[in-house]
Chains A and B, each alone.
Chain A
Amino acid sequence: MTALAPEIHHLTGHDVARARRERRRRRALVTGVLGVLVVVVYAASLMVGQTFYGPDEVWAVLRGETVPGASFTVGELRLPRASMAVLTGAAFGLAGVTFQTMLRNPLASPDVIGISSGASAAAVVALVVLELSSTATSVVAILAALATALMIYALAFKDGVVGSRLILIGIGVAAMLDSVVAYVIVRAAQWDLQVAMRWLTGSLNNATWDQVAPLAIAVVVAAPVLLSQARALELLQHGDDSAASLGVPVERTRLLCICTAVVLIAFATAASGPIAFVAFLAGPIAARVVGPGGSLMVPAALVGALLVLTADLAGQFAFDARYPVGVITGVLGAPYLVYLLVRTHRSGGSL
């Protein structure tokens, strides 16, 4: 709560303005802390592993010096892996919160309503069956993700799109596309557990700079586009009519946000597989942490990055066996999904 308790009457405009600035400062502070945490965990994931390298050795590698052992382990293994974790986490978080805000429902994240599954199914077909390059795979994944989004939208359309209908249809589409992934993996000639896990739950194993580069470009291009729509998206939460009367070009904003978010999902999925529930979890966690009333985009991107970084570290070192990152995020996300479904059911909503 803020310093101003509700029982204080006759708040002046000055008080309101001050409280407002106070809230903004708090949000900025919390966002800053999230940013610092991302940097800290990123640094940690460069240092720890089979062999520990201190900050000075890691720094030397980052500067491009040749350090025996570290140059390979840190420069070629850990650095692309950690960078990929940050980029996929940010991309999933940003795209997820965009969908959740736009459709006014935390269940409406792209990994629940099948858009990630569309990208994943296309990517696995492109890589395993057609044996395309990673760039071509990204392109196929984007097209498939857009097509999936379009298909879900078309199937859910009847006198406008209702959030709950879209979500139910999306869940069905997701199940269908996930079975495509499973089918391709089972039928693949070179049966490979790593590949299978990557396309089923997402994994950062064997991350290379070749995979990181297209994703990095996508994030650098798409993130500012989405951030520029942050305020319009907030107003869309009131409903289309209210948003339009406040000067938001509703259709244009929605189209731009959907396309940009789908591009992010597709690139991230092509790089790492559909890391389970990151898009779904990042927004709601960010909302709890920074509080209501402002855009959640930057906090959700940071929470996403933090989630993937931490889950990947935990998956590698916290247990006796090594688990891909998606297994850990899946364990976190599934109970939350159940909780949300139970809560909406109890409150009488159809979803």
Chain B
Amino acid sequence: MLEVDIEHRLADFALDIHFHAGRGLTALFGRSGAGKTSVVNAIAGLLRPRRGRIVMDGSVLLDTERGVWVPTHLRRVGYVFQEGRLFPHLTVRQNLLFGRWFAPARERRVIKLDDVVDLLGIAALLDRRPGRLSGGEKQRVAIGRALLGSPRLLLMDEPLASLDARRKDEILPYLERLRDDARVPTVYVSHSVAEVTRLATTIVLMSAGRVHAVGPVHEVMGRAELYPLTGRFEAGAILGVRITAHDPRWSLTQLTGDFGRLTVPRLDAPVGTALRVRIRARDVILAVTRPTGISALNVLAAEVERLVPIEEGTLEVQLRLGRERLLARVTRLSGEALGLATGREVFALIKTVAIDRRSLSRQGETADLDDEMETFDG
């Protein structure tokens, strides 16, 4: 449990941040320059806010009113920096074990070197020095180094930002495993919708030094009024599903959720695996009668919940799909022609190939659904 409540002056704007983060992965999401890094630096003790209070698991790290300031080396946070920051004069093994010497003796063995090396796939690098490692390798070592300090909280500042798409895909599965297996609460800074929707349990939406919304990732990303901040082009819904069958003949996989079934290109995961699927609003087509004679394999019955005009000529349609939600984007002309209105029964069509590997991710611990979403007027 982490409570952050800080005010600070930055070069361009004032930082005024309040949020609570629970278990799992909390994403600080926003454009570059929103002050996200300053927030994690304040949590790590690398930046000293002018005013505020930071509490982690009941221990007060900062309280300007009572004059409490815990120095960085006593905070026991693992920090994965954007640029790795591996020690160039030490081998990978020495880098990994650096934090071990400083962790309290009784907690030193909680996370084992071999486990971390396996989790991150870095066994072959142990005796090398960081100078010649690739960007992806460096980041994995940096993650391992942070973990082996037995941190109470893991901070990751855009750990994938300096990597190309292939390296990102190489590291993302490790981050998912970390979130699900290592059970260290994590604060993750990112400006990438894809990373955040894939990894985050809770999202803290930031802009110009302020928090605009806090809540479960599928709710915050699906809210039309937040599109200016979350990015309208990427708007979409996240559905929880489970793999129920593979069809080797056509190379397809069947996913089942509360709302019905989805057919997607074949996945390499056993039947029963829980996944998140992200369906972008622009990949959904609406029909008022069940269509026949079309190529789209996914036709889901849904009910229109709300219509939100998002720009000249375009409507965002929020659909109820059993207990889940789906977003569709249509032109205002189509909305008029189909007679779309709240309560109307429609069919949502999703092209099978629109759901690719990047839209799918392992299901982590999801945020408590009872959590009321907090909103701040900013």
Q: Are A and B subunits of one complex?
A: no
B residues with a Cβ closer than 8 A to A are none
A residues with a Cβ closer than 8 A to B are none
